[in-house]
């Protein structure tokens, strides 16, 4: 009888432990940072952010330096990261691939009417329009970048009325991915690419920092503005942690943090929902950009 009782207690203990593990009990919270979020100033601001977040959610906070959007997505999928700031396009890929869900968005009021994406060429280039890009080399940022791939490609398809497949196979002489917006801009200025599709804020930002000359490039096409940038989390995170995390983010107001990481001191975290990004899904569908193909 005693042996049976001990067996029952042991079984209940094992099942309880398994239940806790399945419920997603967390020992730490890991943020995946993208390459564009990595510099000396950002490191200091990130550390301050992480310390305050740790206090708010009651967990140690660590960081993971992802080499690309796909790397961040895989890190969340494999349980190595819990949160990352995505572009809208990489976010919808992350939803499909890693069951990511939005916790907040980043709003940039100063850029509410500004173009989200631009196509630039060197200042002395003979390229004057999108049609002139035929047979040229173009640099995009990342296959799952919204402003560095999805929007520029959509602009070209809409302007020329061509099939997306033709754009990929017969229009350009070469398509390259730079990995970061600043690398793509520098690639144009230095003559590595004939043109590049990048975030609308980056060329002027690099010029303001003295990294390129203000007149070293020209904009030949611009997109419309972009809605909030989503911050995605691992959906299996405990609800209590999600609530504490969301409350912390919506109340975070360090202007220096926002200016360094997002380029604008008036940036802020705001409420968002998954359906806010359905327009991005529509554009991806129009361009035949499958999330599965992008993650191979």
The string of pLDDT tens digits covering residues 10-32 is 333 433 444 333 445 799 999 99
Residue 8 has pLDDT above 80, yes or no: no
Radius of gyration of the chain (CA): 22
In this prediction, residue 38 carries a pLDDT of 52
Q: What is the structure's pLDDT at 12?
A: 39
Kindly report the average pLDDT of the chain as a whole number: 87
Strand pairing category for 137-140 and 195-199: parallel
- Residue 268: its pLDDT value, please? 93
Lowest-pLDDT range of 4-13, 158-167, 193-202, 274-283: 4-13
Query: Once rounded to an integer, what is the mean pLDDT over residues 104-110?
Result: 89
Is there a contact between 106 and 262 (Cβ–Cβ < 8 Å)? yes
- Average pLDDT of span 44-49: 92
Q: How confident is the model at residue 39, as a pLDDT?
A: 59
pLDDT at 5 over 50: no
Look at residue 117 and tell me whether its pLDDT is greater than 80.
yes
Instruction: Give the Cα separation of 257 and 253 in Å (integer).
Output: 8
Confidence (pLDDT) at 2:
40
Q: pLDDT tens-digit profile of 183-241?
A: 999 999 999 999 999 999 899 989 988 999 999 999 999 999 888 899 999 999 999 99
The predicted pLDDT at position 152 comes to 97
% of the chain surpassing 90 pLDDT? 70
Cβ proximity of 58 and 256 under 8 Å: no
pLDDT at 243: 97
Q: Grade residue 43 by pLDDT with cuts at 50, 70 and 90.
A: confident
Across the range 34-56, mean pLDDT stands at: 83
Give pLDDT, residue 42.
79
- Summarize the confidence of residues 69-96 as an average pLDDT: 94
Using H for helix, E for strand and C for coil, what is the string for 207-234?
HHCCCCCCCCEEEEEECCCCCCEEEEEE
What values do phi and psi take at 198, rounded to 5?
Answer: -140, 170
């Amino acid at each position: 009888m005693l042996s049976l009782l001990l067996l029952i207690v042991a079984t209940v203990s094992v099942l309880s432990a398994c239940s806790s593990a399945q419920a997603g009990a967390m020992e730490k919270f890991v943020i995946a940072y993208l390459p564009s979020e990595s510099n000396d100033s950002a490191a200091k601001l990130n550390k301050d952010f992480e310390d305050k977040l740790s206090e708010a959610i009651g967990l140690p906070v660590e960081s993971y330096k992802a080499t690309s959007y796909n790397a961040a997505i895989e890190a969340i999928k494999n349980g190595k990261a819990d949160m990352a700031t995505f572009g809208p396009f990489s976010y919808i890929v992350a939803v499909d691939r890693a069951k990511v869900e939005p916790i907040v968005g980043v709003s940039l009021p100063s850029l509410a009417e500004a173009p989200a994406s631009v196509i630039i060429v060197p200042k002395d280039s003979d390229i004057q329009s999108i049609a002139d890009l035929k047979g040229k080399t173009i640099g995009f940022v990342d296959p799952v970048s919204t402003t560095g791939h999805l929007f520029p490609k959509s602009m070209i398809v809409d302007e020329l009325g061509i099939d997306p497949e033709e754009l990929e196979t017969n229009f350009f002489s070469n398509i390259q991915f730079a990995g970061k917006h600043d690398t793509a801009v520098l690639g144009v200025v230095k003559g590595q690419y004939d043109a590049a599709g990048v975030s609308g804020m980056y060329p002027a930002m690099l010029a303001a920092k003295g990294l390129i000359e203000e007149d070293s490039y020209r904009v030949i096409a611009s997109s419309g503005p972009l809605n909030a940038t989503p911050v995605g989390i691992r959906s299996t995170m405990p609800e209590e942690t999600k609530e504490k995390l969301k409350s912390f983010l919506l109340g975070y107001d360090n202007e220096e943090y926002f200016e360094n990481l997002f380029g604008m001191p008036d940036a802020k975290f705001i409420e968002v929902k998954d359906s806010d990004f359905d327009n991005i899904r529509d554009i991806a569908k129009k361009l035949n950009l499958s999330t599965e193909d992008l993650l191979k």
